[in-house]
Amino acid sequence: MSCLKLQFDRPAMIWEEAFPIGNGSMGAMVYGGVDFEQIQINNDTLWSGMPDTTVYQNQQSDIELIRKAVFAGKYQKAQESSRDFLTYKRCHDYMPLGDIYIKPIHEIGRTIQYSRELSLENAEINISYTREKGISYHRQIYCSKPNDVMVIHLTSSKNKAISFSIMCNSELNHETKITGSTIGVEGAAPSDAEPNEMDNQLVYHTNDNTIRFHMMVQLVNLGGTVKADADKLSVYGANEVFLLVATETNFVAYNKEPDGNKNLLQCNNLKIKRALNDGMPTVYEKQLQYYQNLYKRVEFSLDSTCNPTMSEMIGDKEKYIKELTELSFQYARYLMISASSEQSQPMNLQGIWNRQIQPPWASNYTTNINTEMNYWAAEISNLSECHMPLIDMIKELSVAGEETAKIYGCRGFVVHHNTDLWRKTTPAGGNDPRWALWPMASAWLCRHLWEHYLFQQDRVFLQETAFPITQKCVEFYIDWLIADSEGFYVTCPSTSPENVFQIDGTQCAVTKASTMDMAILKDLFENYLCMAELLKYSSNLVNQVKEYRSKLYPYKIGQDGRLLEWDVEFEEHEKGHRHQSHLYGVYPGHSIQKENTALFNAAKKSLETRLAYGGGQTGWSCGWIINLFARFEDGENAGKYVRTLLTKSMYDNLLDAHPPFQIDGNFGLLSGICEMLVQSDFISEHEYRIKILPAIPTDWKKGRVSGIKAKGGFLVEIDWDLNKEINVTIQSLYGNKCTVISNRAINNIHHIE
């Protein structure tokens, strides 16, 4: 596409049509109204609750009861015993900070032209409209990372034509103060966002030291007059207006109480003063340089010949599927840069954008797929810096999870299927073991440490961060595993996230050695041993891991040729379940590869069967399917599910529709497309393998990608025309060597050392 932007000829009517913007710490959803503009604001550290100081007791005896039932084949008993074990608190909720409302005062008449666009190349929103009498108005909105402010710039085609009122609000307990040309909103998050049973209100306790927040809106008026009222500011007859927005909380760290002495007003005032001292042109240029340094690294084109309007694309997604694919690819990269930056919190279920006091699933970090999916594409799409917030959270979880490991009588650390700002690591989400009894997230998260090293080749990171955390994680699972009657090491109790099987008409989730558990541990142990070899590290633990790896419970293939999800060929309760947990070894793991024909084919048949029964209908699930078919080197089905996600699981603003909105589908799509174009594997310390165009569909006849990354620190550029030639350029950033393979004839491979 010649111009990468989202553009509409009308304002957003609902939140799911608004445009997202952000700098990692502050997020906003912009509606673009003419007579009434709403901008909904979030801050990444505004969550309910406080640090959890509960000391949990060792419950090894409860685990033994569950294990005894499982090994005796009494799965209903294991299910009930698991419910008794799961008595832990729920996660806390990500909170919306508030809203900014702008009400323009226009001349009499109607609006005759309107445009609302989000530029992916510049990371800015532009709203333009013309009134009947010929005056044009323009609103430019961007969110600066260098200055940590949002800027709303108002201009018009006629002098003295800008008049409006502005006010702010929050659904949380708050006070609003207006001083001169400044609006300040200060308040506090609730102790708990779960409704109070008596009055369905948020829970606030006056003696609780919950997170406090402050939002400042500074009006810079050029050529007009300003009037301050009790609840709003009004501007009359201005030539130009800047509104600078800053947010701050008194969050300190996951394990520390919020700083009650922090002067939030002073912090925001300092941010705005610095921006004003820099000057608005400089603020804009600094933000543009910061953003484009990340965004412009990767180009992707499917040689689309049309340049449709957004309305045309949304109206006929099938017709313009190539254009929509190109746009959505870069839109996901825009979202990642906007929602995950160095020193910000990692992206939660909604990235950084949430309007609800009680958001779906608390808008938390769901670590049995969704959090990881948010970051699958970070390295391969050349946004390694955006990966760092997740890595920072893993560091914190590796400490927070030590106490939780003791519940099981184990060393190391462990994380379950949910966490939040306070780095909860105990089971969450009620007493249903199908999701709550899943102590495997820590192992999955450690894959991100290894991936970051493979792409970035940072030996200091490997030695000081990736290896120590992974080793601590390995310690837990060495202690957690138990030998079964056949001498295999198994997890028990074990579940396959959010899925159940049938026993005598009863739904059960608890067994031993689920396929996902085994796949994650094969992955963890292999990655740990690779790290140890690179660092020339030897120990009793390394030897123990080698032994355990060789005796992990093996994958099983059922009578119909499918890879089993559980250790036994149970009756499936939901054959089209949305999770593809048992296929972890295909993607994101590497333990099931093409070279092992029997397992590879069994895994693919398992996926195809699940889809035949209606699976893959939610956005993130569809995103996982794209990645799986890419690893199966099935370009036609990978392309089919790219189309499915784009045509059936996207709102008009291209945010992923789970439904409701979850951002993981946007990133699952991005990583899936990347995997369709390039796949890479670690072979040895300085040797890697790169697959070129392993899974592109036939209707992607021509295209180009540049700046995409491969493991080992390679930049890859591919120009292809399937009817003519394929040209590949590979640049080694760190002096490593690679073997290039493809299931298509490559005419020219150019290596740059």
Helices (H), 362-457: 370-374, 384-407, 433-436, 441-456
DSSP E strands, 268-320 = 299-301
Q: What is the pLDDT of residue 618?
A: 87
Six-digit token string for 674 = 């990347």
Helices (H), 505-569: 515-534, 540-550
| Element spanning 25, H or E | none
**Helix (H/G/I), strand (E/B), else coil: 582:** helix
3-state helix, strand, coil in the chain (%, to 5): 35, 25, 40
Q: What is the pLDDT of residue 617?
A: 81
Q: What is the pLDDT of residue 205?
A: 66
- Alpha-carbon gap, residue 600 to 616, rounded angstroms: 20
- Tell me which of 3.40.50.300, 3.40.190.10, 2.70.98.50, 2.40.340.10 is the CATH number of domain 5-47+96-296: 2.70.98.50
pLDDT in tens, 310-364: 888 999 999 999 999 999 999 999 999 999 999 999 999 999 999 999 999 999 9
Cβ–Cβ under 8 Å, residues 653 and 6: yes
| Cβ neighbour number for residue 277 with a 10 Å cutoff | 9
- Alpha-carbon gap, residue 645 to 622, rounded angstroms: 6
**What angle in degrees, to the nearest 10, is found between the helix axes of 467-480 and 384-407?**
30
- Alpha-carbon gap, residue 105 to 237, rounded angstroms: 10
Q: What rounded mean pLDDT belongs to the chain?
A: 95
- In this structure, whether the domain defined by 60-91+362-556 belongs to CATH 3.20.20.390 is answered with no
Q: What backbone torsions phi and psi does residue 711 show, to the nearest 5 degrees?
A: -60, 145
CA atoms within 13 A on the CB side of 495: 26
- Taking 50 as the threshold, does the pLDDT of residue 198 lie above it? no
Q: What backbone torsions phi and psi does residue 49 show, to the nearest 5 degrees?
A: 85, -170
pLDDT in tens, 610-659: 999 998 888 999 999 999 999 999 999 999 999 999 999 999 999 999 88
Cβ–Cβ under 8 Å, residues 364 and 92: yes
- Alpha-carbon gap, residue 318 to 622, rounded angstroms: 17
Rounded to whole angstroms, what are the CA distances from 191 to 128, 251, 551? 42, 14, 47
Q: What is the pLDDT of residue 658?
A: 87
Strand 748-752 vs strand 725-732: parallel, antiparallel, or unpaired? parallel
CA atoms within 13 A on the CB side of 427: 21
| 207 Cβ contact list (under 8 Å, min separation 6) | none
- Percentage of residues of the chain with pLDDT beyond 90: 92
DSSP tag of 363: G
pLDDT in tens, 262-277: 999 999 999 999 999 9
Rg (CA), the chain: 27
Q: What backbone torsions phi and psi does residue 528 show, to the nearest 5 degrees?
A: -60, -45
Q: Closest by alpha carbon to 518, among 547, 491, 493?
A: 491
Cβ–Cβ under 8 Å, residues 43 and 99: no
**Helix (H/G/I), strand (E/B), else coil: 583:** helix
Six-digit token string for 562 = 């499918």
Cβ–Cβ under 8 Å, residues 69 and 75: yes
**Per-domain boundaries in the chain:** 5-47+96-296, 60-91+362-556, 691-752
Six-digit token string for 501 = 């099987």
Cβ–Cβ under 8 Å, residues 339 and 389: no
Tell me the DSSP string of 138-175. EEEEEEETTTTEEEEEEEESSTT-EEEEEEEE-SSEEE
For the whole model, what pTM was predicted? 0.97
- Taking 90 as the threshold, does the pLDDT of residue 196 lie above it? no
The residue count of the chain comes to 753
Residues in a beta bridge with 39: 30, 100
Q: What is the pLDDT of residue 429?
A: 80
Q: What backbone torsions phi and psi does residue 448 show, to the nearest 5 degrees?
A: -65, -30
| 327 Cβ contact list (under 8 Å, min separation 6) | 1, 4, 6, 120, 313, 654
**Helix (H/G/I), strand (E/B), else coil: 402:** helix
Tell me the DSSP string of 60-113. HHHHHHHHHHHHTT-HHHHHHHHHHH--PPPPP-BPP-EEEEEEE-PPSS-EEE
pLDDT in tens, 74-102: 999 999 999 999 989 899 999 999 999 99
Cβ–Cβ under 8 Å, residues 31 and 37: yes
pLDDT in tens, 114-172: 999 999 999 999 999 999 999 999 999 999 999 999 999 999 999 999 999 999 999 99
Query: Do the domains spanning 5-47+96-296 and 60-91+362-556 agree at the CATH topology level?
Result: no
Mean pLDDT of 536-545: 98
Mean pLDDT of 567-575: 92
**Helix (H/G/I), strand (E/B), else coil: 164:** strand
Residues in a beta bridge with 227: 234
- Alpha-carbon gap, residue 199 to 206, rounded angstroms: 18
